[in-house]
Amino acid sequence: MTYRIYPNKAQFDQLHWARKMHCDLYNAAMANRRTQYKRFGHSVNYLEQQNCLPEFKKVWIEYAELGSHTLQATLKRVDFAYKRFFQGLAKYPKFKAKRRYSGWTYPDQAGWKALSNGKNGYLELRDLGLKIQMRGQARTWGTPTTCTIFFRNGKWYASITVQCNPIRQTGTGSIGIDLGCKDAVTLSTGEKIAKPDFIKEGHKKVKVVSKRLRRKRPPNRNKKVKGSRRWKKEQKRISELQGKISRQREDWLHKTTSEIVSGNSLIAGEQLNVKGMTRKAKKGKRKRQKAGLNRSILDVGFSIVGDLLTYKATEAGGFYVESPTKTLKPSQRCAKCWELTPKTLADRVHVCSNPDCNHVEDRDVNAAQVNEIWARGLERASLDVESPSSTDCGSMKQLGAKKRQKRRL
């Protein structure tokens, strides 16, 4: 659960000081790893840097005020960045400027305490000697375990993790879904959930402010030119607008997925390679059109919907499965006869090519129905596999005798 915290002027400065100290420690750990490897060929790991913290705090006495566990968590971030690089999941780690460093983490209950029952309350940071008011409401409250303090768009937030057993209500039905750009979510029942209007309106406002930003003097590190105050003001305005759009989208996605889970215990989607779908256009292609398509895909949140449905269905005791898009081809397969009918993106109506079927249906609704039928097939297959073991046999010998009897017949 993420709470917004409201520090006063002195607390505000204290939080910024702590963020700066953790940013400097992050960069110092990065520099240590680079220097040791370039000069001596030695690869520094997390345990080595962690064991150096006591001596480091004797030299840099400013860090004595900060909790040891929070400093270890910052070193863990550096180690995590290098591990992702070696696994080929990210680029080589870079030094971070203070304005781009979000905050720090309390990995356990030492150094902080949440004075709340899940709704509003106060956040106590013992290492900094602060007691800050926070606002927010958790759907399910439990025992707090970790806390991350971060700064975003001029506001401070606290992300608190708790140990709890969340429970959701769900129905006994099954449903298939299909994601799109025009209609965000299409259900197998024929219902369509359109993309909300606030996304389009928010992008219009960002476009207007971005046009004003281009008229201001931007920063240029090569020429040692700082951005003007008006440029910084417009840049801050853009960040606020984009943050508002992001929060509105997240709220809409949570409400939409919760409504789907509340009535269905089996939900079927499809596997989507969102990273590949939103790649930039190649040279000589229609870059402007591809950029608009990428924006529409990201606005709907294709990659987020699956994650939300997965954990919400698990909390409700249901299942969310994704059909193999490359082999199943839900957009081209007929939900009635299972025949493949090639289509282009311009074809919005499914007309089955099988002369014995001639099924006509909306393209997105048909794809959602194909996903549901595929998932129900898995359900029936699992029931068939489990049925022999659910017999009232007294021993495995009786089960083997029944199987031999079936073979004779």
* pLDDT tens, position by position, 272-281: 888 888 888 8
pLDDT at 394 over 70: no
pLDDT at 227 over 60: yes
pLDDT tens by residue, 25-45: 999 999 999 999 999 999 999
Contact 365, 186 (CB under 8 A): yes
Question: 173-179 and 264-270: which strand pairing?
Answer: parallel
pLDDT of residue 382: 55
Nearest-angstrom CA–CA distance, 293 and 184: 13
Span 204-222, average pLDDT: 92
Local structure of residue 228 (DSSP, 8 states) = P
pLDDT tens by residue, 267-305: 999 998 888 888 888 776 678 888 888 888 888 888 899
pLDDT of residue 391: 37
As a whole-number percent, the residues of the chain with pLDDT over 90 amount to 59
Q: Which of 103-107, 196-200, 403-407 has the lowest mean pLDDT?
A: 403-407
- Please give the single-letter amino acid code of residue 245: I
Full strand arrangement of the beta sheet holding 112-115:
103-106, 143-152, 155-163, 2-6, 130-137, 119-125, 112-115
Helix or strand run (H / E) with residue 177: strand 173-179
pLDDT tens by residue, 140-159: 898 999 999 999 888 999 99
Q: Does residue 170 sit in helix, strand or coil? A: coil
403: confidence class by pLDDT, cuts 50, 70, 90: very low
pLDDT tens by residue, 363-381: 999 999 999 999 888 765 5
pLDDT of residue 282: 79
pTM of the model: 0.81
Q: Is 92 exposed, middle or buried (0-12, 13-18, 19+ CB in 10 A)?
A: exposed
Name, in order, each residue with C-beta under 8 angstroms of 243's C-beta and a sequence gap of 6 or more. Answer: 152, 153
On average, the pLDDT of the chain sits at: 87
CB atoms within 10 A of CB 286: 11
Nearest CA among 91, 103, 92, 112 for reference residue 23: 103
Q: Does residue 136 sit in helix, strand or coil? A: strand
pLDDT of residue 288: 82
Nearest CA among 94, 96, 124, 92 for reference residue 110: 124
Contact 154, 44 (CB under 8 A): no
pLDDT of residue 6: 96
pLDDT of residue 165: 85
Helix or strand run (H / E) with residue 125: strand 119-125
Largest distance between two CA atoms of the chain: 89
Local structure of residue 129 (DSSP, 8 states) = T
As a whole-number percent, the residues of the chain with pLDDT over 70 amount to 92
Question: Which residue's entry shows tokens 């290492």?
Answer: 127
pLDDT of residue 381: 57
Nearest-angstrom CA–CA distance, 355 and 341: 12
Q: Does residue 112 sit in helix, strand or coil? A: strand
pLDDT at 99 over 50: yes
Nearest CA among 313, 315, 355, 360 for reference residue 334: 360
CA–CA distances in Å: residue 33 to residues 28, 37, 43, 72, 82: 9, 6, 7, 16, 10
Look up residue 180 and give its two tokens: 């799109």
pLDDT tens by residue, 55-92: 999 999 999 999 999 999 999 999 999 999 999 999 99
pLDDT at 405 over 60: no
